[in-house]
A and B are shown apart, each in its own frame.
Chain A
């Protein structure tokens, strides 16, 4: 670990303790310790990756290097030394000089982090102007240079645009330019690519990496994705529950992890699922075309896919590819303008209003955000009991018994029936949603990005549960996801969607085997691999290919 006197050390955090006060309803306020004595150091021009699941304290530690506590987080112990001075002792005025100048920040959601009422350039050069570092003309020239360096289209004019006029991936790069503009010594990247599609992520990642190298800035790179951090970091610190688990060079952590927890992170997605043979379909979608009311644009074009009973069809694609729209069409929320949907041998009415109660019962849905898919004022028993009452007329003791059976099935056991959603963890909430869908005894469950909001280890548990239930109950899944690792783990059949059309469709072993069409190739090769130098390799391959053409 770096020495205290080392002039190369830019940021040093010693025994950092962070606390926050929580206000549980009906109880006295409680002080919670979020980070328990973490120490780290970043040298000039180096990148330290902070990695861990949600609640590990990685963002909180990142923000503390600007002496900032989000939502009432307090720094209660330790020292934070930037450029040789303890920033906890420099006062509000000193912090204003530090923030946005010496240390800058790139947030996860650039879309929310830009002021919607101001053009981009105004925001990018704001601190550079405020500190009197440069004239407006010089600052704008520097911003345009950075836009170009980060590979943004129309670098001269993009600054005149407003945040809503620019795509998510571009906005993330503009935010990186904003962080680099005042020539900082340290940039905090807080999950800068997490909200992006894989094909966009790889470009942004490459742009960030290049910018870090060319400007020689040091960085803290925060992410939950070990494969991503392996591409940009020099050192990695693994965090869990606010404590350090492992701290070492990238090579050591990825290739020879010392701790069990790190090993689990390195090897997630251990599920092995044998593909089932082809069979006559339960759900058949033929030439479905759909558009949203009041638009002149088909979001789905001629989509045809089949799903045999008891199997899983994974629908993969980027945001805007129409995969969630397909779910809306199947459930009847958005009636198809053309095409035919057959389910269990009968035609399904395109419109929800034309469907029988059995149609509704046999086709259930689970959503990405388990939080908002449940009424926060109902207990787990009421939530799961509702379909039992609605479809089967169960009441009283009979209903309670069935709820308990379902809870056992999702491995939640006793004591959960009386809880409210707020008293459950993210994974438990998603389990309750699964139980609610199962309660209707469906033949098909549409799973819309059900594991995207969960940490990898928790998501793994949910996938295992879903596979288990499929084996026992014979239920089919239409599994919508953007995550190819999930697809590999659970699918029998795969449909790759792009711009409202099915680009590639078939059994898993066929879809994931070459030769690929151009889009599927791009999609598959963009998924980060837990391997040093993967990013350079992919970019090099792509450059060679485009040069060859």
Chain B
């Protein structure tokens, strides 16, 4: 028999793919039941019934839903996301560039937020119920409670207008150096970090505090280890599974939930792209964006699952 971990991981991957398939069905059905008619939206109120009928036939809207779904799925599996109705351009290249921008922004935020959240969680546990813990809790709770657009305007007011440290518009274009790009996205990164920090930090704190009740933490205390060593070396490795799950949900949020932040800073990412095309009733683009978001979400949760499995010594080292 293969290593039990391989079996578990294969199981999770298969489930993830199945889930993605189900999500594609939902996305397709969801866009079908949207009110309004694509042909009408494209041609406007003045269109004659003949032109509408012609356009519908051209777009394949008269085919049964099931066969349209399968031809769409077939295209997606071959890397063809279809053409945008609004401008007749293929979707894949445009979406690819936008996705790259969003992932760049999200990973910059994640690289700062995740280690910072875990560290703040460890510090909170070390000084639990004392002033550093309370301060960290208060600040992260405050930033998580303020709506992101307001956070966006606050950092623009202080960092862009008052002190002129960072640009208020995050315009990026081809040919920028990495440094220029990082400078351009400084403000949205700050806003995103503040938005996801609280959740991850609190979960880290709760998960470690839970482990701190264990007999082996007492053993560590009776070994005369330093409090921070006990937390970092003996408690944290046993709290990884719940922490990873929250981290991944927040990473997924960084990718799929950044719409507002991108709009505030006029950043050319997925969020803006999606919002633009929803308002134009450009169904193929909306479907493609939905599918990409679903893929990111499922993929990150899959990684969380796998990391949790790997973090369990009983599975990693079977009897």
Contacts and interface: CB of A to CB of B under 8 A. Distances in A.
Interface in B135-189: none
A109 B215 contact: yes
A162 B224 contact: no
A116 B217 CA distance: 11
B219 A107 contact: yes
B151 to A, nearest CB: 37
B313 A162 contact: yes
A96 B224 contact: yes
A165 B319 contact: yes
Contacts of A172: none
Nearest to A164: B314
B317 A115 contact: no
B228 interface: no
A479 interface: no
Interface string A83-103: 000000000000111111100
Interface in A101-156: 101, 104-105, 107, 109, 112-118, 126-127, 130
A231 to B, nearest CB: 25
Nearest to A103: B222
A452 B234 CA distance: 32
A116 B218 contact: no
Contact of A100 (B214, B222, B314): B222
Chain B CB within 10 Å, residue with most, of A104, A109, A116: A116
A70 B313 contact: no
A145 B222 CA distance: 23
B221 A114 contact: no
B224 A127 contact: yes
Contacts of A114: 216, 219
B224 A116 contact: no
A414 B219 CA distance: 45
B220 interface: yes
Interface string B218-254: 1111111110000000100110000000000000000
Contacts of A41: none
Given A113-B216, A115-B234, A117-B238, A68 B222 contact: yes
Contacts of A99: 221-224
B235 to A, nearest CB: 9
B314 A105 contact: no
A329 interface: no
A116 B313 contact: yes
Contacts of B311: 117
A126 B216 CA distance: 13
B319 A164 contact: yes
B225 A115 contact: no
Nearest to A100: B223
Interface residues of B, number: 20
Contact of A112 (B214, B223, B224): B214
Interface residues of A, number: 29
A126 B313 contact: no
Nearest to A70: B218
Contact of A107 (B215, B314, B319): B215
Interface string B199-224: 00000000000000011101111111
A481 B219 CA distance: 31
Contacts of B218: 70, 107, 113
B221 A112 contact: no
B222 A116 contact: no
A66 interface: yes
A105 B226 contact: no
Nearest to A92: B227
A166 to B, nearest CB: 9
B223 A126 contact: yes
A166 B25 CA distance: 49
A164 B216 contact: no
Interface string B289-315: 000000000000000000000010110
Contacts of B221: 68, 99
Contacts of B238: 115-117
A165 B214 CA distance: 19
A118 B225 CA distance: 16
Nearest to B237: A117
A130 B225 contact: yes
Given A162-B313, A162-B317, A165-B319, A115 B224 contact: no
Contact of A98 (B219, B224, B226, B313): B224
A283 B69 CA distance: 65
B219 A113 contact: yes
B319 A115 contact: no
Given A99-B224, A127-B224, A116 B216 contact: yes
Contacts of A70: 218
Nearest to A122: B233
Contacts of B214: 112
Contacts of B226: 96
Chain A CB within 10 Å, residue with most, of B218, B221, B223, B313: B223
Contacts of B224: 95-101, 127
Contacts of A63: 222
B268 to A, nearest CB: 44
B317 A165 contact: yes
B128 to A, nearest CB: 14
Given A162-B313, A164-B314, A115 B216 contact: yes
A442 B211 CA distance: 44
Nearest to B234: A115
B219 A105 contact: yes
Contacts of B216: 112-116
A113 B225 contact: no
Nearest to A175: B219
Nearest to B319: A165
B215 A113 contact: yes
A165 B313 CA distance: 10
Interface in A477-524: none
A112 B222 CA distance: 14
A79 B119 CA distance: 39
A195 B224 CA distance: 26
Given A96-B224, A96-B225, A112-B214, A117 B313 contact: yes
Chain B CB within 10 Å, residue with most, of A63, A105, A113: A113
A53 B238 CA distance: 34
A109 B214 CA distance: 12
Contacts of A162: 313-314, 317
Contacts of A68: 221-222
Contacts of B319: 164-165
Chain B CB within 10 Å, residue with most, of A63, A98, A105: A105
Contacts of B223: 99-100, 104, 126-127, 130
B309 to A, nearest CB: 14
Contact of A164 (B220, B222, B225, B313): B313
A119 B317 CA distance: 10
Given A117-B238, A164-B313, A100 B225 contact: yes
Contacts of A107: 215, 218-219
A109 B216 CA distance: 10
Chain A CB within 10 Å, residue with most, of B222, B224, B237: B224
A490 to B, nearest CB: 34
Nearest to B236: A117
29 contacts: A68-B221, A70-B218, A95-B224, A96-B224, A96-B225, A96-B226, A98-B224, A99-B222, A99-B224, A100-B223, A101-B224, A104-B222, A107-B218, A109-B215, A112-B214, A113-B215, A113-B218, A114-B219, A115-B216, A115-B219, A115-B238, A116-B313, A117-B238, A117-B313, A118-B234, A127-B223, A130-B223, A164-B317, A164-B319
Across chains A and B, which 7 residue pairs bring their CB atoms closest together, nearest first?
A99-B224, A100-B223, A112-B215, A100-B224, A117-B237, A96-B224, A115-B216
Given A99-B222, A112-B216, A165-B317, 10 more contacts: A70-B218, A95-B224, A97-B224, A100-B222, A105-B222, A112-B214, A115-B216, A115-B219, A161-B317, A164-B319
